[in-house]
Structure 1
Protein backbone atom coordinates (compact mmCIF):
# COMPACT_ATOMS: atom_id res chain seq x y z
CA UNK A 1 0.00 0.00 0.00
CA UNK A 2 1.54 3.36 -1.02
CA UNK A 3 2.18 6.13 1.49
CA UNK A 4 -0.05 8.96 0.29
CA UNK A 5 0.91 12.60 0.83
CA UNK A 6 -1.84 15.21 0.88
CA UNK A 7 -2.03 18.95 0.28
CA UNK A 8 -4.85 21.40 0.88
CA UNK A 9 -5.99 23.98 -1.67
CA UNK A 10 -7.62 27.08 -0.13
CA UNK A 11 -10.65 26.38 -2.35
CA UNK A 12 -11.47 23.58 0.11
CA UNK A 13 -12.47 26.19 2.70
CA UNK A 14 -12.44 29.52 0.85
CA UNK A 15 -14.20 31.51 3.58
CA UNK A 16 -11.54 30.73 6.17
CA UNK A 17 -8.99 33.51 6.65
CA UNK A 18 -5.51 32.47 5.62
CA UNK A 19 -4.23 31.75 9.12
CA UNK A 20 -7.29 29.64 9.95
CA UNK A 21 -6.89 27.77 6.67
CA UNK A 22 -3.25 27.07 7.51
CA UNK A 23 -4.32 25.88 10.97
CA UNK A 24 -6.86 23.51 9.39
CA UNK A 25 -4.15 21.92 7.27
CA UNK A 26 -1.79 21.59 10.22
CA UNK A 27 -4.52 20.07 12.43
CA UNK A 28 -5.09 17.41 9.76
CA UNK A 29 -1.40 16.58 9.63
CA UNK A 30 -1.16 18.05 6.12
CA UNK A 31 2.15 19.83 5.57
CA UNK A 32 1.54 21.34 2.11
CA UNK A 33 -0.93 24.01 1.01
CA UNK A 34 -1.98 25.89 -2.11
CA UNK A 35 -2.95 29.54 -1.79
CA UNK A 36 -5.10 31.34 -4.33
CA UNK A 37 -5.35 34.76 -5.94
CA UNK A 38 -9.09 34.52 -6.69
CA UNK A 39 -10.64 34.63 -3.21
CA UNK A 40 -12.16 38.08 -2.53
CA UNK A 41 -11.49 39.34 0.96
CA UNK A 42 -8.69 36.85 1.48
CA UNK A 43 -4.99 36.63 0.72
CA UNK A 44 -3.75 37.47 -1.93
CA UNK A 45 -6.54 39.83 -3.07
CA UNK A 46 -6.92 41.54 0.31
CA UNK A 47 -3.42 42.98 0.14
CA UNK A 48 -1.75 40.54 2.53
CA UNK A 49 1.97 40.88 1.93
CA UNK A 50 3.99 37.89 0.79
CA UNK A 51 6.15 38.29 3.90
CA UNK A 52 3.05 37.85 6.08
CA UNK A 53 1.98 34.78 4.10
CA UNK A 54 5.46 33.28 4.44
CA UNK A 55 5.55 33.94 8.18
CA UNK A 56 2.12 32.36 8.69
CA UNK A 57 3.11 29.25 6.74
CA UNK A 58 6.30 28.91 8.76
CA UNK A 59 4.39 29.39 12.01
CA UNK A 60 2.19 26.41 11.13
CA UNK A 61 5.06 24.31 9.72
CA UNK A 62 3.68 24.34 6.18
CA UNK A 63 5.15 24.37 2.69
CA UNK A 64 3.32 26.47 0.08
CA UNK A 65 3.40 24.22 -2.96
CA UNK A 66 1.72 26.70 -5.29
CA UNK A 67 -0.16 29.90 -5.96
CA UNK A 68 -3.28 29.08 -7.96
CA UNK A 69 -3.30 30.65 -10.60
CA UNK A 70 -2.22 32.70 -13.60
CA UNK A 71 -5.44 32.58 -15.63
CA UNK A 72 -5.57 32.59 -19.45
CA UNK A 73 -1.80 32.07 -19.48
CA UNK A 74 -1.81 30.82 -23.09
CA UNK A 75 -3.37 34.06 -24.32
CA UNK A 76 -0.09 35.93 -24.02
CA UNK A 77 -0.04 39.73 -24.09
CA UNK A 78 1.80 42.63 -22.40
CA UNK A 79 -0.87 42.67 -19.70
CA UNK A 80 -0.50 38.92 -19.16
CA UNK A 81 3.27 39.35 -18.91
CA UNK A 82 2.82 42.01 -16.22
CA UNK A 83 0.41 39.79 -14.32
CA UNK A 84 2.84 36.87 -14.58
CA UNK A 85 5.74 38.93 -13.25
CA UNK A 86 3.62 40.09 -10.31
CA UNK A 87 2.45 36.59 -9.38
CA UNK A 88 5.89 35.05 -9.87
CA UNK A 89 7.38 37.75 -7.67
CA UNK A 90 4.73 37.14 -5.01
CA UNK A 91 5.36 33.39 -5.19
CA UNK A 92 9.08 33.83 -4.71
CA UNK A 93 8.63 36.26 -1.83
CA UNK A 94 6.11 34.13 0.08
CA UNK A 95 8.10 30.93 -0.35
CA UNK A 96 5.76 29.23 -2.82
CA UNK A 97 7.42 26.62 -4.98
CA UNK A 98 5.21 26.92 -8.06
CA UNK A 99 2.62 28.93 -9.97
CA UNK A 100 -0.35 27.14 -11.51
CA UNK A 101 -0.98 28.10 -15.15
CA UNK A 102 -4.61 27.85 -16.30
CA UNK A 103 -5.54 28.11 -20.00
CA UNK A 104 -8.37 30.04 -21.61
CA UNK A 105 -11.69 28.31 -21.15
CA UNK A 106 -14.28 30.31 -23.08
CA UNK A 107 -14.27 28.60 -26.47
CA UNK A 108 -11.55 30.86 -27.93
CA UNK A 109 -8.12 29.80 -29.15
CA UNK A 110 -9.16 26.23 -29.87
CA UNK A 111 -8.29 25.92 -33.56
CA UNK A 112 -5.76 23.26 -34.44
CA UNK A 113 -2.41 24.92 -35.06
CA UNK A 114 -3.48 28.14 -33.37
CA UNK A 115 -3.76 26.67 -29.88
CA UNK A 116 -0.38 24.87 -30.11
CA UNK A 117 1.35 28.02 -31.33
CA UNK A 118 -0.20 30.13 -28.56
CA UNK A 119 0.83 27.56 -25.96
CA UNK A 120 4.44 27.45 -27.15
CA UNK A 121 4.63 31.26 -27.27
CA UNK A 122 3.36 31.55 -23.69
CA UNK A 123 5.71 28.88 -22.38
CA UNK A 124 8.64 30.48 -24.19
CA UNK A 125 7.84 33.86 -22.61
CA UNK A 126 7.24 32.43 -19.14
CA UNK A 127 10.34 30.26 -18.98
CA UNK A 128 12.95 32.98 -18.27
CA UNK A 129 10.64 34.70 -15.76
CA UNK A 130 10.12 31.47 -13.84
CA UNK A 131 13.74 30.39 -14.08
CA UNK A 132 15.04 33.69 -12.74
CA UNK A 133 12.74 33.42 -9.72
CA UNK A 134 13.33 29.70 -9.18
CA UNK A 135 9.61 29.00 -9.53
CA UNK A 136 8.04 26.00 -11.30
CA UNK A 137 5.20 26.59 -13.77
CA UNK A 138 2.42 24.04 -13.28
CA UNK A 139 0.46 23.70 -16.54
CA UNK A 140 -3.10 22.57 -15.88
CA UNK A 141 -5.09 21.28 -18.87
CA UNK A 142 -8.86 21.50 -18.31
CA UNK A 143 -11.27 18.86 -19.54
CA UNK A 144 -14.09 21.25 -20.42
CA UNK A 145 -15.07 21.22 -24.10
CA UNK A 146 -14.65 25.02 -24.17
CA UNK A 147 -10.99 24.86 -23.07
CA UNK A 148 -8.07 25.75 -25.35
CA UNK A 149 -5.81 23.17 -23.68
CA UNK A 150 -7.59 19.90 -22.90
CA UNK A 151 -4.81 17.46 -23.70
CA UNK A 152 -1.92 16.65 -21.38
CA UNK A 153 -0.16 15.08 -24.38
CA UNK A 154 -0.31 18.43 -26.16
CA UNK A 155 0.96 20.24 -23.06
CA UNK A 156 3.81 17.75 -22.61
CA UNK A 157 4.83 18.09 -26.25
CA UNK A 158 4.89 21.88 -25.97
CA UNK A 159 6.92 21.80 -22.74
CA UNK A 160 9.51 19.58 -24.38
CA UNK A 161 9.56 21.62 -27.59
CA UNK A 162 10.59 24.80 -25.73
CA UNK A 163 13.20 23.01 -23.63
CA UNK A 164 11.03 23.52 -20.59
CA UNK A 165 11.21 20.19 -18.75
CA UNK A 166 13.26 21.78 -15.97
CA UNK A 167 10.85 24.72 -15.66
CA UNK A 168 7.37 23.31 -16.21
CA UNK A 169 5.36 20.42 -14.82
CA UNK A 170 1.81 19.24 -15.41
CA UNK A 171 -1.09 19.34 -13.01
CA UNK A 172 -3.06 16.12 -13.14
CA UNK A 173 -6.56 17.08 -12.01
CA UNK A 174 -8.70 13.98 -11.51
CA UNK A 175 -11.88 15.86 -12.45
CA UNK A 176 -10.43 17.30 -15.65
CA UNK A 177 -8.67 14.06 -16.57
CA UNK A 178 -12.02 12.28 -16.46
CA UNK A 179 -13.75 14.97 -18.51
CA UNK A 180 -11.02 15.08 -21.15
CA UNK A 181 -11.15 11.32 -21.66
CA UNK A 182 -7.42 11.19 -22.36
CA UNK A 183 -5.92 7.95 -21.01
CA UNK A 184 -2.25 9.01 -20.94
CA UNK A 185 -0.94 10.03 -17.50
CA UNK A 186 2.56 11.56 -17.93
CA UNK A 187 3.50 10.77 -14.33
CA UNK A 188 7.13 11.68 -15.05
CA UNK A 189 6.08 15.25 -15.91
CA UNK A 190 3.44 15.61 -13.18
CA UNK A 191 4.27 18.10 -10.46
CA UNK A 192 0.93 18.18 -8.63
CA UNK A 193 -2.32 16.23 -8.49
CA UNK A 194 -5.63 17.96 -7.75
CA UNK A 195 -8.30 15.66 -6.36
CA UNK A 196 -12.07 16.06 -6.12
CA UNK A 197 -15.04 13.80 -6.70
CA UNK A 198 -18.43 13.98 -8.36
CA UNK A 199 -21.25 11.97 -6.77
CA UNK A 200 -24.33 13.38 -8.51
CA UNK A 201 -25.68 10.41 -10.49
CA UNK A 202 -28.00 12.58 -12.55
CA UNK A 203 -25.35 14.64 -14.32
CA UNK A 204 -23.68 13.61 -17.59
CA UNK A 205 -19.92 13.88 -18.00
CA UNK A 206 -20.33 16.68 -20.53
CA UNK A 207 -22.42 18.68 -18.07
CA UNK A 208 -20.10 18.32 -15.08
CA UNK A 209 -18.87 21.67 -13.77
CA UNK A 210 -16.75 22.91 -10.87
CA UNK A 211 -19.84 23.27 -8.71
CA UNK A 212 -20.32 19.50 -8.72
CA UNK A 213 -16.86 18.82 -7.26
CA UNK A 214 -16.93 17.43 -3.71
CA UNK A 215 -14.49 15.54 -1.50
CA UNK A 216 -13.50 12.07 -2.69
CA UNK A 217 -15.56 9.26 -1.17
CA UNK A 218 -17.03 5.85 -2.02
CA UNK A 219 -19.73 7.32 -4.31
CA UNK A 220 -17.22 9.06 -6.59
CA UNK A 221 -17.90 8.77 -10.34
CA UNK A 222 -14.55 10.13 -11.58
CA UNK A 223 -12.38 7.09 -10.90
CA UNK A 224 -10.13 8.91 -8.44
CA UNK A 225 -8.90 5.67 -6.90
CA UNK A 226 -7.98 4.17 -10.26
CA UNK A 227 -6.29 7.39 -11.39
CA UNK A 228 -4.24 7.71 -8.20
CA UNK A 229 -3.25 4.04 -8.26
CA UNK A 230 -2.07 4.40 -11.86
CA UNK A 231 -0.12 7.59 -11.12
CA UNK A 232 1.59 6.04 -8.09
CA UNK A 233 2.40 2.87 -10.03
CA UNK A 234 3.95 5.05 -12.75
CA UNK A 235 6.19 6.79 -10.21
CA UNK A 236 4.30 9.85 -8.99
CA UNK A 237 5.23 10.51 -5.35
CA UNK A 238 4.06 14.11 -4.87
CA UNK A 239 1.06 15.48 -2.99
CA UNK A 240 -2.61 14.90 -3.69
CA UNK A 241 -4.19 18.32 -3.22
CA UNK A 242 -7.86 18.58 -2.25
CA UNK A 243 -9.63 21.07 -4.55
CA UNK A 244 -13.43 20.81 -4.17
CA UNK A 245 -15.53 23.68 -5.52
CA UNK A 246 -19.01 22.60 -4.38
CA UNK A 247 -20.88 24.86 -1.99
CA UNK A 248 -21.83 21.71 -0.06
CA UNK A 249 -18.17 21.44 0.93
CA UNK A 250 -17.58 25.16 1.39
CA UNK A 251 -20.55 25.41 3.76
CA UNK A 252 -19.53 22.52 6.02
CA UNK A 253 -19.65 23.34 9.71
CA UNK A 254 -16.80 20.89 10.35
CA UNK A 255 -14.55 20.68 7.29
CA UNK A 256 -11.79 19.03 9.33
CA UNK A 257 -13.93 15.95 10.03
CA UNK A 258 -15.04 15.66 6.40
CA UNK A 259 -11.47 15.97 5.14
CA UNK A 260 -10.26 13.40 7.66
CA UNK A 261 -12.89 10.95 6.39
CA UNK A 262 -11.84 11.51 2.77
CA UNK A 263 -8.16 11.09 3.65
CA UNK A 264 -8.95 7.85 5.49
CA UNK A 265 -10.99 6.56 2.56
CA UNK A 266 -8.17 7.27 0.11
CA UNK A 267 -5.54 5.67 2.34
CA UNK A 268 -7.68 2.56 2.75
CA UNK A 269 -8.53 2.12 -0.94
CA UNK A 270 -5.52 3.29 -2.98
Structure 2
Protein backbone atom coordinates (compact mmCIF):
# COMPACT_ATOMS: atom_id res chain seq x y z
CA UNK A 1 0.00 0.00 0.00
CA UNK A 2 1.49 3.35 -1.06
CA UNK A 3 1.45 6.17 1.45
CA UNK A 4 2.36 9.79 0.81
CA UNK A 5 3.09 12.66 3.15
CA UNK A 6 1.01 15.55 1.85
CA UNK A 7 1.99 19.03 3.01
CA UNK A 8 -1.25 21.00 3.03
CA UNK A 9 -1.41 24.80 3.03
CA UNK A 10 -4.22 27.36 3.16
CA UNK A 11 -4.80 29.87 0.38
CA UNK A 12 -6.70 32.89 1.73
CA UNK A 13 -9.53 31.94 -0.64
CA UNK A 14 -10.55 29.20 1.83
CA UNK A 15 -12.18 31.95 3.92
CA UNK A 16 -11.85 35.52 2.63
CA UNK A 17 -13.63 36.88 5.70
CA UNK A 18 -10.62 35.99 7.85
CA UNK A 19 -7.93 38.61 8.26
CA UNK A 20 -4.44 37.60 7.13
CA UNK A 21 -3.51 37.12 10.78
CA UNK A 22 -6.53 34.87 11.35
CA UNK A 23 -5.61 32.80 8.29
CA UNK A 24 -2.10 32.35 9.67
CA UNK A 25 -3.41 31.51 13.15
CA UNK A 26 -5.84 28.92 11.79
CA UNK A 27 -3.05 27.29 9.79
CA UNK A 28 -0.97 27.06 12.95
CA UNK A 29 -3.89 25.66 14.97
CA UNK A 30 -4.43 23.01 12.29
CA UNK A 31 -0.78 21.99 12.40
CA UNK A 32 -0.10 23.20 8.86
CA UNK A 33 3.10 24.84 7.72
CA UNK A 34 2.17 27.51 5.20
CA UNK A 35 -0.35 29.99 3.81
CA UNK A 36 -0.89 31.96 0.62
CA UNK A 37 -1.94 35.58 0.98
CA UNK A 38 -3.96 37.43 -1.67
CA UNK A 39 -4.54 40.88 -3.08
CA UNK A 40 -8.15 40.20 -4.11
CA UNK A 41 -10.06 39.35 -0.92
CA UNK A 42 -11.58 42.73 -0.20
CA UNK A 43 -10.68 44.39 3.07
CA UNK A 44 -8.47 41.44 4.03
CA UNK A 45 -6.21 41.82 1.00
CA UNK A 46 -2.50 42.53 1.25
CA UNK A 47 -2.30 45.89 -0.49
CA UNK A 48 0.29 47.91 1.41
CA UNK A 49 3.60 47.43 3.18
CA UNK A 50 2.05 47.83 6.63
CA UNK A 51 -0.38 44.93 6.17
CA UNK A 52 2.33 42.81 4.53
CA UNK A 53 4.76 43.38 7.40
CA UNK A 54 2.08 42.66 10.00
CA UNK A 55 1.15 39.38 8.32
CA UNK A 56 4.80 38.42 7.99
CA UNK A 57 5.45 39.15 11.64
CA UNK A 58 2.54 36.95 12.74
CA UNK A 59 3.70 34.18 10.43
CA UNK A 60 7.21 34.28 11.88
CA UNK A 61 5.83 34.21 15.43
CA UNK A 62 3.86 31.04 14.69
CA UNK A 63 6.38 29.34 12.43
CA UNK A 64 4.19 29.58 9.32
CA UNK A 65 5.73 30.08 5.88
CA UNK A 66 4.19 32.64 3.53
CA UNK A 67 4.31 30.88 0.18
CA UNK A 68 3.04 33.66 -2.02
CA UNK A 69 0.88 36.63 -2.68
CA UNK A 70 -1.70 35.77 -5.31
CA UNK A 71 -1.54 37.34 -7.92
CA UNK A 72 -0.13 39.52 -10.69
CA UNK A 73 -2.74 39.63 -13.48
CA UNK A 74 -2.44 39.59 -16.44
CA UNK A 75 1.27 38.94 -16.11
CA UNK A 76 1.77 38.03 -19.78
CA UNK A 77 0.57 41.38 -21.16
CA UNK A 78 3.60 43.51 -20.41
CA UNK A 79 3.53 47.29 -20.24
CA UNK A 80 4.54 50.09 -17.86
CA UNK A 81 1.47 49.52 -15.70
CA UNK A 82 2.27 45.81 -15.32
CA UNK A 83 5.91 46.56 -14.52
CA UNK A 84 4.89 48.98 -11.77
CA UNK A 85 2.37 46.53 -10.36
CA UNK A 86 4.90 43.70 -10.43
CA UNK A 87 7.41 45.76 -8.47
CA UNK A 88 4.73 46.81 -5.98
CA UNK A 89 3.67 43.20 -5.40
CA UNK A 90 7.26 42.01 -5.16
CA UNK A 91 7.82 44.57 -2.40
CA UNK A 92 4.74 43.25 -0.58
CA UNK A 93 5.90 39.63 -0.84
CA UNK A 94 9.31 40.68 0.43
CA UNK A 95 7.77 42.62 3.34
CA UNK A 96 5.69 39.58 4.30
CA UNK A 97 8.75 37.32 4.18
CA UNK A 98 7.16 35.39 1.34
CA UNK A 99 8.69 32.96 -1.11
CA UNK A 100 7.20 34.22 -4.36
CA UNK A 101 4.51 35.80 -6.49
CA UNK A 102 1.76 33.93 -8.34
CA UNK A 103 1.51 34.96 -12.00
CA UNK A 104 -1.81 34.55 -13.84
CA UNK A 105 -2.29 35.07 -17.59
CA UNK A 106 -4.93 37.07 -19.41
CA UNK A 107 -8.37 35.48 -19.76
CA UNK A 108 -10.28 37.36 -22.44
CA UNK A 109 -12.51 36.09 -25.24
CA UNK A 110 -11.64 39.18 -27.32
CA UNK A 111 -7.89 38.64 -27.15
CA UNK A 112 -6.95 37.74 -30.73
CA UNK A 113 -3.17 37.38 -30.66
CA UNK A 114 -1.60 34.58 -32.72
CA UNK A 115 0.28 31.73 -31.07
CA UNK A 116 3.56 33.40 -32.05
CA UNK A 117 2.45 36.73 -30.57
CA UNK A 118 1.37 35.03 -27.34
CA UNK A 119 4.72 33.26 -27.04
CA UNK A 120 6.62 36.51 -27.68
CA UNK A 121 4.53 38.32 -25.08
CA UNK A 122 5.10 35.54 -22.57
CA UNK A 123 8.86 35.59 -23.07
CA UNK A 124 8.95 39.39 -22.81
CA UNK A 125 7.05 39.24 -19.51
CA UNK A 126 9.20 36.47 -18.05
CA UNK A 127 12.39 38.34 -18.94
CA UNK A 128 11.15 41.54 -17.29
CA UNK A 129 9.86 39.68 -14.25
CA UNK A 130 13.17 37.91 -13.80
CA UNK A 131 14.79 41.27 -13.19
CA UNK A 132 12.05 42.55 -10.88
CA UNK A 133 11.73 39.40 -8.79
CA UNK A 134 15.49 39.01 -8.71
CA UNK A 135 15.85 42.31 -6.84
CA UNK A 136 14.01 40.69 -3.93
CA UNK A 137 15.28 37.10 -4.41
CA UNK A 138 11.72 35.88 -5.09
CA UNK A 139 10.29 33.06 -7.17
CA UNK A 140 7.68 33.48 -9.87
CA UNK A 141 4.89 30.89 -9.78
CA UNK A 142 3.41 30.72 -13.30
CA UNK A 143 -0.18 29.48 -13.21
CA UNK A 144 -1.62 28.52 -16.62
CA UNK A 145 -5.40 28.93 -16.56
CA UNK A 146 -7.31 26.19 -18.34
CA UNK A 147 -10.35 28.21 -19.42
CA UNK A 148 -11.03 28.01 -23.19
CA UNK A 149 -10.50 31.78 -23.49
CA UNK A 150 -7.22 31.81 -21.56
CA UNK A 151 -4.13 33.19 -23.28
CA UNK A 152 -1.94 30.58 -21.54
CA UNK A 153 -3.82 27.31 -21.01
CA UNK A 154 -1.16 24.65 -20.58
CA UNK A 155 1.86 24.05 -18.43
CA UNK A 156 3.70 22.73 -21.50
CA UNK A 157 3.57 26.21 -23.06
CA UNK A 158 4.88 27.82 -19.88
CA UNK A 159 7.69 25.30 -19.45
CA UNK A 160 8.81 25.73 -23.06
CA UNK A 161 9.06 29.50 -22.64
CA UNK A 162 10.84 29.30 -19.28
CA UNK A 163 13.36 26.79 -20.58
CA UNK A 164 13.99 28.71 -23.78
CA UNK A 165 15.05 31.69 -21.65
CA UNK A 166 17.09 29.62 -19.20
CA UNK A 167 15.02 30.90 -16.28
CA UNK A 168 14.24 27.60 -14.54
CA UNK A 169 15.73 28.85 -11.26
CA UNK A 170 13.49 31.91 -11.17
CA UNK A 171 10.18 30.44 -12.32
CA UNK A 172 8.21 27.35 -11.38
CA UNK A 173 4.71 26.20 -12.22
CA UNK A 174 1.51 26.25 -10.26
CA UNK A 175 -0.24 22.95 -10.88
CA UNK A 176 -3.88 23.82 -10.31
CA UNK A 177 -6.03 20.68 -10.39
CA UNK A 178 -9.05 22.63 -11.67
CA UNK A 179 -7.12 24.25 -14.51
CA UNK A 180 -5.21 21.07 -15.34
CA UNK A 181 -8.50 19.28 -15.94
CA UNK A 182 -10.03 22.25 -17.73
CA UNK A 183 -7.13 22.47 -20.17
CA UNK A 184 -7.30 18.75 -20.92
CA UNK A 185 -3.58 18.51 -20.25
CA UNK A 186 -2.06 15.15 -19.36
CA UNK A 187 1.60 16.02 -18.71
CA UNK A 188 2.27 16.97 -15.08
CA UNK A 189 5.80 18.50 -14.96
CA UNK A 190 6.27 17.62 -11.29
CA UNK A 191 9.93 18.60 -11.43
CA UNK A 192 9.07 22.10 -12.63
CA UNK A 193 6.20 22.58 -10.16
CA UNK A 194 6.68 24.96 -7.26
CA UNK A 195 3.15 25.00 -5.87
CA UNK A 196 -0.08 23.01 -6.16
CA UNK A 197 -3.60 24.45 -5.88
CA UNK A 198 -6.52 22.12 -5.22
CA UNK A 199 -10.28 22.51 -5.41
CA UNK A 200 -13.15 20.24 -6.39
CA UNK A 201 -16.09 20.46 -8.76
CA UNK A 202 -19.11 18.24 -8.13
CA UNK A 203 -21.98 19.46 -10.37
CA UNK A 204 -22.62 16.50 -12.73
CA UNK A 205 -24.31 18.72 -15.31
CA UNK A 206 -21.22 20.83 -16.01
CA UNK A 207 -18.91 20.15 -18.92
CA UNK A 208 -15.23 20.83 -18.29
CA UNK A 209 -15.31 23.80 -20.69
CA UNK A 210 -18.13 25.33 -18.66
CA UNK A 211 -16.52 25.07 -15.23
CA UNK A 212 -15.79 28.44 -13.65
CA UNK A 213 -14.27 29.66 -10.40
CA UNK A 214 -17.65 29.88 -8.57
CA UNK A 215 -18.03 26.10 -9.03
CA UNK A 216 -14.83 25.34 -7.11
CA UNK A 217 -15.45 23.59 -3.78
CA UNK A 218 -13.32 21.77 -1.26
CA UNK A 219 -12.31 18.30 -2.44
CA UNK A 220 -14.73 15.56 -1.42
CA UNK A 221 -16.12 12.19 -2.44
CA UNK A 222 -18.12 13.57 -5.39
CA UNK A 223 -15.16 15.40 -6.93
CA UNK A 224 -15.07 15.25 -10.73
CA UNK A 225 -11.56 16.66 -11.18
CA UNK A 226 -9.69 13.57 -9.95
CA UNK A 227 -7.76 15.59 -7.39
CA UNK A 228 -6.59 12.42 -5.65
CA UNK A 229 -5.37 10.94 -8.91
CA UNK A 230 -3.57 14.12 -9.91
CA UNK A 231 -1.91 14.43 -6.51
CA UNK A 232 -0.92 10.77 -6.52
CA UNK A 233 0.83 11.15 -9.87
CA UNK A 234 2.58 14.36 -8.79
CA UNK A 235 3.84 12.75 -5.58
CA UNK A 236 4.99 9.61 -7.40
CA UNK A 237 6.84 11.83 -9.85
CA UNK A 238 8.70 13.51 -6.98
CA UNK A 239 6.72 16.62 -6.05
CA UNK A 240 7.54 17.51 -2.43
CA UNK A 241 6.05 21.00 -2.09
CA UNK A 242 2.86 22.36 -0.60
CA UNK A 243 -0.69 21.51 -1.67
CA UNK A 244 -2.79 24.61 -1.11
CA UNK A 245 -6.58 24.67 -0.85
CA UNK A 246 -8.08 27.28 -3.21
CA UNK A 247 -11.91 27.07 -3.30
CA UNK A 248 -13.78 30.00 -4.85
CA UNK A 249 -17.40 28.90 -4.25
CA UNK A 250 -19.50 31.20 -2.11
CA UNK A 251 -20.97 28.20 -0.32
CA UNK A 252 -17.49 27.37 0.97
CA UNK A 253 -16.79 30.98 1.96
CA UNK A 254 -20.08 31.08 3.89
CA UNK A 255 -19.39 27.95 5.97
CA UNK A 256 -19.88 28.46 9.69
CA UNK A 257 -17.01 26.08 10.45
CA UNK A 258 -14.44 26.20 7.63
CA UNK A 259 -11.87 24.39 9.76
CA UNK A 260 -14.03 21.29 10.15
CA UNK A 261 -14.73 21.26 6.41
CA UNK A 262 -11.03 21.60 5.63
CA UNK A 263 -10.16 18.79 8.02
CA UNK A 264 -12.74 16.53 6.37
CA UNK A 265 -11.31 17.32 2.93
CA UNK A 266 -7.77 16.61 4.12
CA UNK A 267 -8.88 13.30 5.59
CA UNK A 268 -10.62 12.35 2.35
CA UNK A 269 -7.53 13.15 0.28
CA UNK A 270 -5.14 11.35 2.62
CA UNK A 271 -7.39 8.27 2.64
CA UNK A 272 -7.50 8.28 -1.16
CA UNK A 273 -3.73 8.51 -1.42
CA UNK A 274 -3.18 5.45 0.78
CA UNK A 275 -5.27 3.11 -1.34
- Identify the residue that residue 10 of structure 1 maps to in structure 2: 12
Where does structure 2 lack aligned partners over 5 or more consecutive residues? none
Task: String of CA shifts for 1:195-224, please: whole Å, max 9, x gaps.
Answer: 000011111111100000000011100011
Q: Which whole-Å CA distance do the structure 1 matches of 2:113 and 2:10 have between them?
A: 31
Matched, 1:178 2:181: yes
Matched, 1:240 2:249: no
* 3-state DSSP of counterpart to 2:83: helix
- Identify the residue that residue 40 of structure 1 maps to in structure 2: 42
Calculate the TM-score normalised by the size of structure 1: 0.97
Equivalent residue in structure 2 for 1:125, among 119, 123, 128: 128
1:109: Cα distance to partner? Answer: 5.2
Runs in 1 of length 4+ with deviation above 2 angstroms? 45-50
Q: Structure 1 residues 249 and 46, CA, compared in 2 at 3 Å: closer, same or farther?
A: farther
Q: Which whole-Å CA distance do the structure 2 matches of 1:146 and 1:109 have between them?
A: 10
Q: Which whole-Å CA distance do the structure 2 matches of 1:73 and 1:243 have between them?
A: 20
- Identify the residue that residue 97 of structure 2 maps to in structure 1: 95
1:23: Cα distance to partner? Answer: 1.6
Matched, 1:83 2:85: yes
- Identify the residue that residue 264 of structure 1 maps to in structure 2: 267
- Identify the residue that residue 254 of structure 2 maps to in structure 1: 251
* 3-state DSSP of counterpart to 1:178: helix
RMSD after superposition? 1.2
Task: String of CA shifts for 1:37-79, please: whole Å, max 9, x gaps.
Answer: 1111113137743221211112222100111000100000011
Calculate the TM-score normalised by the size of structure 2: 0.96
Task: String of CA shifts for 1:149-205, please: whole Å, max 9, x gaps.
Answer: 001111000001111100000000000000000101111100000000001111111
Superposition pairs for residues 131-210 of structure 1, below 5 Å? 131-210=134-213
Where does structure 1 lack aligned partners over 5 or more consecutive residues? none
